[in-house]
Structure 1
């Protein structure tokens, strides 16, 4: 596996690249500026010297050269001394820089101009310009530039040290966070605390994202544990039916009796299948947008009531359905069956006499009983609180609100509130 660099190493590398680039650009700009200034100075000086030479030579036709302290002018290429190594194809009125043989310093500048003599003939005038003072100044400029470059390098090194210290301070909380995660127990899903030090926006976002991820894992584990609790609660009844039915089959071989027990077995298996389907849906994430609105019918509610009427055996309790208005729901039939079934089982268990009413309005499904109320737990009933917990989880899963309220005149009311857009 390729070795990964630390943030400090990457910072040092990129800072060094930028520093070298800045120094190189600085030297290039200084050298280019000095060359441009030297050429501009030579152009102006040569134009001035050429004008002086033309005036002088026109007044003295016999003279073919004009020499001053810093310049020399010659009429015609033939009169130019041999040590001036120039060619005849020089451009007119433009300063040309000529370097020393095998050297780097500028020797002189030359300009070729067109001169009109007194007799009307035209001749080429070659003017050479020497500026030792400027050359000396140019050397001084480069020396000063080198000093500035050294100072710049020192400042860059100091800046790099400061940047590395800042980088170390910024990365310290991240190193602490890494150490915490490495030594954190696999079962520890408590929120991660933001490390001490410089609290940056990026570090805060990282810790928040890790906490959200841990929370999803925690919820997933809780769903798995809830599945075990729900399964033991919901599957107990159909398993007891299956066990009892198989025991009864050993005592009779009458066809009618066997058919009746077969139907009980089939019903128990269907109930178990519905329970498992719903419980699995509670413990896994689903795309609820794929669910379609459907109409809740009275027949669907009657089927749920019929499957739990045996709990009212020998009780003077009336159960009725009041479907005042049709309602659309966005929940699978099996999930609704378990939701309403759990609330009915609790209502039947808490009511010794009176009535249990399933009331359906456009925005609410209510199970109203005349029992002992929500503050007391019915005797001899297993899984009472777990049944309500299952109902709450199903409502939460499908975006419904669940409330358990006491009635003013006794009993309680379990309400499932349907959102208008559902």
Structure 2
């Protein structure tokens, strides 16, 4: 009888401990859900607050462009427009990536082979005043079922990095076998150091805006969201080759 009583007490203790653990887990999950709800509300509010000033600023270059200004004013106005566009893209990317993926209607297919020349042209101003040129080679038709804004941001960051770090030569943009590559003859960088920087941003995302590397951070996060593969090959002073492999998200590929 004593043994049976002892076993019953142990069972009661086990049930109580299990109940306490379950309550603790449920409380933790509830706190996480509340935190995520606050984050979403903050992001929605921030998005609303940012749209108006960005819209006002983005209209300023258009107003200036219609004025009778000297020719030397054109490059600064173009830089203003490019900077605002870049800020808008960063805001869109951050807001998109901060939300959980939703199983909504599929995105419209994006014909990358048709969009790519225009996207490269949008970054042509970054080469002004430098003996550098883009060279675009399209070897296939390629459709991707992803938000076009995310595709533009990912490719645009690679083009911008290549343009800003190349001072002489050619930046080759190639679409072939489901892979987009951007190859430059610029400064290059230490890939090991860049990987460590990216890992530090993952551990502490609040540092993403404190220095260089936000562009690469965004590209990698976009790739993770859409299961693309980003490959970087670079050596200091020898240039960089960046590849985006879209194989997992192809709609049409031939």
TM-score by length of 2: 0.64
Distance 1:342 1:239, change over 3 A: farther
Distance 1:240 1:350, change over 3 A: farther
Listed one character per residue, the Cα deviations across residues 167-217 of structure 1 (whole Å, up to 9, x for unaligned) are 2331354366479x4xxxxxxxxxxxxxxxxxxxxxxxxx6x988x59x76
Listed one character per residue, the Cα deviations across residues 97-140 of structure 1 (whole Å, up to 9, x for unaligned) are xxxxxxxxxxxxxxxxxxxxxxxxxxxxxxxxxxxxxxxxxxxx
SS in 1 for 2:189: coil
Cα deviation, residue 383, structure 1: 5.4
Determine which of 212, 218, 229 is the counterpart of 1:401: 229
Q: Which residue of 2 aligns with 1:85?
A: none
> Whose Rg is larger?
1
Q: 1:338 and 2:153 equivalent?
A: yes
Alignment check: 8 A CA contact 1:327 1:362 kept: no
Cα deviation, residue 254, structure 1: 4.5
Q: Which residue of 1 aligns with 2:129?
A: 314
Instruction: State the structure with bigger RCO (CA 8 A, min sep 6), 1 or 2.
Output: 2
Distance 1:421 1:395, change over 3 A: closer
Structure 1 runs (4+) deviating above 6 angstroms are 216-219, 238-241, 263-271
Q: Which residue of 1 aligns with 2:242?
A: 414
Cα deviation, residue 308, structure 1: 1.9
Alignment check: 8 A CA contact 2:138 2:176 kept: yes
Q: 1:358 and 2:173 equivalent?
A: yes
Distance 1:363 1:166, change over 3 A: same
Distance 1:385 1:272, change over 3 A: closer
Q: Which residue of 2 aligns with 1:369?
A: 184
Alignment check: 8 A CA contact 1:321 1:359 kept: yes
Gaps of 5+ in 1: 1-154, 182-206
Listed one character per residue, the Cα deviations across residues 252-273 of structure 1 (whole Å, up to 9, x for unaligned) are 8559x9xx9xx97998877665
d(CA) in 1 for partners of 2:235 and 2:145?
Answer: 28
d(CA) in 2 for partners of 1:346 and 1:298?
Answer: 21
Cα deviation, residue 312, structure 1: 1.1
Listed one character per residue, the Cα deviations across residues 288-333 of structure 1 (whole Å, up to 9, x for unaligned) are 6743573534441122222222211111111121111122323211
For the aligned residues, what is the CA RMSD? 4.7
Q: Which residue of 2 aligns with 1:245?
A: 61
Q: 1:328 and 2:143 equivalent?
A: yes
| Aligned residue pair count | 217
Q: 1:174 and 2:26 equivalent?
A: no
Distance 1:409 1:276, change over 3 A: closer
- Summarize the alignment of residues 287-302 of structure 1 with structure 2, pairs less than 5 Å apart: 287=102, 290-292=105-107, 294-302=109-117
Gaps of 5+ in 2: 194-209
Alignment check: 8 A CA contact 2:187 2:237 kept: no
Cα deviation, residue 353, structure 1: 0.9
Alignment check: 8 A CA contact 1:220 1:283 kept: no
Distance 1:271 1:219, change over 3 A: same
d(CA) in 2 for partners of 1:417 and 1:305?
Answer: 18
d(CA) in 2 for partners of 1:253 and 1:318?
Answer: 30
